[in-house]
Structure 1
Amino acid sequence: MTDRANLLDMGFEPARVEWALKATNNRGLQPALDHLEENAENPVPDLSSVSSTTSSAPPPYGGGDPMDEDEDLEALKAVYGDGGGGSNLGQAEAEAKSIRCSQCGKVFKNTALANYHAEKSGHDQFEESTEEIKPLTEEEKKEKLAELKTRMAEKRAKKATEEAKEAQANEQIRRRSAKDIGKLRDELKAKESLKEMERKKQEKLDEAKARARVKAQIEADRKERADKAAREKALREGVALPQEPAATPSAVAPPKPTVAGKDFPETRLQIRMANGGQPYVTTLSSDATLREVAEYLAGQTLSVDVETVDFAMHFPRKQFARSDFSKTLRELGLTPSAVLIAS
């Protein structure tokens, strides 16, 4: 075997082998080895510029004695063998061809597989092994491929089942949420309907009250017009009108049975205007004068003047003179109540 083949079998790069042989001018195996050792850290130059004169290799061992060089070559051949140096070196030093797990005994082809096994199993004790993992046969490859496909199919089926369960759970959550929202919507709608019913009921009550007020006002206006027409007719015909009862009997002080009519302390008066309108009702002291009645009436309406107003009674028919304005209600016989016509 040539020196080049021996160096390649030793594991040196082809470019470095070519550089070493050319730099040493092919003077033998030992000079090439020395060159490779000395220039292990140096980059490989362009071989066209390399010559034997630029070689950094030292001269042959023993001062260049051919006998010493032959002895060295024979020693190397004894170690590496003649024609099989690379393979004998591999036999001299056992090479690690696999990695074995000391805890379970499994053998792995490379470090990556061993690390994967360590992550999955938690094992942390490994050692190098000279056991060589044989390559799979075609039949074994087919079996492995079929097994891999089966595991992948099972994994896909399991994943599909989990996704289906998750989708079903999500659908149940969605339906439950929709049901709750629908229930809340129905409750809100029922409350709104109840409020609307109450509002309409209140509107009907308000309308009924308003109609009652309008009706009462119409009746009051009709009665007032009828009373006014009756008064005007009585005035035209000179007929005395019957005395009307008090508007609010509860407001009239009930007479005391033991007190005579002329001894009532208060007198209730209903004063009607000759030209119509709402009557004025008041309660004065029985000792109040008729002028005080005129002053009261003037304070209620601007159409009355104390100095010009006249008072009369229809029942019994009586016309009060100006001289009567200084007399008390008791003296005029107006107690305990009376109806006066002011003009």
Structure 2
Amino acid sequence: MAEFSALESLLEMGFSQNRVEKALAVTGNQGIERAMDWLMEHEADPDIDEPYVPPQGNVLGTQEPPEGRIPESMGSISDPAAGGSVDESAEAKRVLTEKEREEQTRRMMELIAQKQKEREEREKRDQIEQEKQRRKQGQELSMIKQKMQEDEMKKLAEDRRREKMEEKMAKQRVREKIERDKAERAKKFGNAAAVQPSPPAEPAPPPAAPSSPTLEPPVKREYDQCRIQVRLLDGSSLTQTFRAKEQLAAVRLYVELHRQDSADPFILLTSFPRRVFTEEDMEKPLQELGLVPSAVLIVAKK
């Protein structure tokens, strides 16, 4: 009758019929505590409320008796032909009193409370562990993001340093080119461009020839120097005296070294008659370009 008492006790505790029958069958009818443990462990199973279906063959918790042996649960049965009856011990089944049933229910409730407490503590520990893992993962992710930001900042700083270095080297190359051009000009043309001698006095006109039937053409005068005025983009001007045989490139170099209005590339031209000097003209002497003895050049953006 132990199985029947366990079934009744679990039903009185509030468990459903399907759950109790399944718990007792699965645990092999080994007592209320084993059934309680199974119910607590499998409470969240999706099929916990489905009716129990015993497996094919031997039923859990039962065992076939050996041949020729009568199961003890059947008790002693006398031969009906001899007028025997069922053993009295099988009829004298012990029935729990009301007080014993209450005591058993109380113990079961305490067991349920203990199991519930253990489960809650286990779930709490699991939640704490999950929270630790979540925080650890969050810290690792934060460190990864911080390292990526630091790497990006380092890359930007390195790019800026490289750009500044390239810009510095480019300026250095420009200054070196200007110095080379200046040295070549000084070597090629000497210091004549820096000296501004006064223009030679014009010779007195030749005396008028006595009356003659014809007039001789005037003699064309040769000039060794020419005075060049250069008008810059900001309205200011530069004035310098050059040798008549110097190339126009000497004037351009002089403007590059002394202008203060801008550093942009430029071209030289005359206003009237308008003429824009090309790179080919830079190799020609001032005398050949018609800029002797004086001329006004204009700087324009290239």
TM range, normalised to the smaller chain?
0.3 to 0.5
Larger relative contact order, structure 1 or 2 (CA cutoff 8 Å, min sep 6): 2
Greater Rg, structure 1 or structure 2?
Answer: 1
TM-score, scaled relative to structure 2: 0.38
TM-score, scaled relative to structure 1: 0.34
